[in-house]
Amino acid sequence: MSTPSTAYLMGHTDHERRRLSVQAQALNPLTRDFFERAGIGPGMRVLDLGCGVGEVSLIAARMVGPGGHVTGLDIDPSALEIARGRAVAEGLHHAVFEEANVADYLPEAPFDAVTGRLILIHTADPAAIVRRAAGFLRPDGIIAMQDYDLSRFIPSCPPKPLRDRTLQSIVEFFTRATPQADVGMRLYQLLLDAGLAEPQCRGECAIGGGPASIMHEWFAETVRTLLPRMEAMGLAAADEIDIETLADRLRDEAASVGGCVVGPMLIGAFARKT
């Protein structure tokens, strides 16, 4: 396929939209800090690729303020309706959402920044997406991308067998389902190869602890979304996973073992167009 693809491994279901909202509770603080380091601020025009239900777009909209503008791009019309409703409810009328594939999108004017969180891992050709994103920018504009390295996971401390098995199953799925499981680690070079200035890059993890942490629901909802494909690939069996009780069992384990639970490594890289 010669043009960038935005096929989404997680599907476009109500469960997945719910999972995105849960995930955002863990990741949004990291993304806001990342955008601040990247230089996203008042008055800027921002394009958010693969915006889903609008989590990242709304972070950007708050940061650019009413003097700026944010366009969220996605191929899921149901997710876009949720994003539009959230923007209206929050009074962020300078955030708009468009149904389009990155490969076909033609902006009316260049953007000051292009953002994307967790989109390259789902694409057939991440380099093509980054090059396309660079083409949307004005000179000295910013690309700011965050993505996972899901070719590995960080074990719990102290060990939590159920949590570690759960994360291992997610890693095994992505390692088999996509050649981009480690794309976060490749962001630095991808931005360089797109002709951008030397990127600034950092890896971070969301870390929680105790039974009240959102992490348990996040892990369980991720498995819920992936379970049909995990079964088809021979990675899991529904009766063994017992998805309806998984979050509760993860909470119980955290309460009994103590210590922290660690999310996947999220790598952020930003660079300017020369």
Per-residue pLDDT of the chain (274 residues), as tens digits, is 233 334 566 656 777 878 888 999 999 999 999 999 999 999 999 999 999 999 999 999 999 999 999 999 999 999 999 999 999 999 999 999 999 999 889 999 999 999 999 999 989 899 999 999 999 999 999 999 999 999 999 988 899 999 999 999 999 999 999 899 999 999 999 999 999 999 999 999 999 988 899 999 999 999 999 999 999 999 989 999 999 999 999 999 999 999 999 999 999 999 999 9
DSSP 67: T
- Residue 2 has what pLDDT? 32
Q: Is residue 6 part of a domain?
A: no
Q: Is residue 29 part of a domain?
A: yes
Peptide bond into 155 cis (omega under 30): no
Query: How many domains are contained in the chain?
Result: 1
Backbone angles phi, psi at 91, to 5 degrees: 75, 20
Residue length of the chain: 274
Q: Is residue 238 part of a domain?
A: yes
- Residue 9 has what pLDDT? 60
CA 70 from chain centre, in angstroms, equals: 17
CA geometry: angle at 117 spanning 271 and 125, to 5°?
80
In this structure, what CATH number is given to the domain that contains residue 31?
Answer: 3.40.50.150
Cβ–Cβ < 8 Å for 162, 219: no
Cβ–Cβ < 8 Å for 146, 268: yes
Structural tokens at position 232: 């088809």
Q: Which amino acid is at 246?
A: L
Cβ–Cβ < 8 Å for 260, 156: yes
70-88 exposure pattern, b = at least 16 Cβ within 10 A, e = fewer: bbbbbbbeebbebbbebbe
Cβ–Cβ < 8 Å for 236, 242: no
Q: Residue 223: exposed, middle, or buried by beta-carbon count in 10 A (0-12, 13-18, 19+)?
A: buried
Q: Is residue 1 part of a domain?
A: no
> In whole angstroms, what is the distance from residue 114 CA to residue 232 CA?
36
Q: Is residue 202 part of a domain?
A: yes
Q: Which residues contact 60 (CB under 8 A, 6 or more apart)?
A: 35, 40, 46, 48, 70, 95, 113, 115
Q: Is residue 62 part of a domain?
A: yes
Q: Is residue 184 part of a domain?
A: yes
Residue of 94, 26, 83 whose CA lies nearest to 55: 83
Which residue range is the domain that position 185 belongs to? 14-272
> In whole angstroms, what is the distance from residue 144 CA to residue 256 CA?
39
Q: Is residue 8 part of a domain?
A: no
Cβ–Cβ < 8 Å for 43, 68: yes
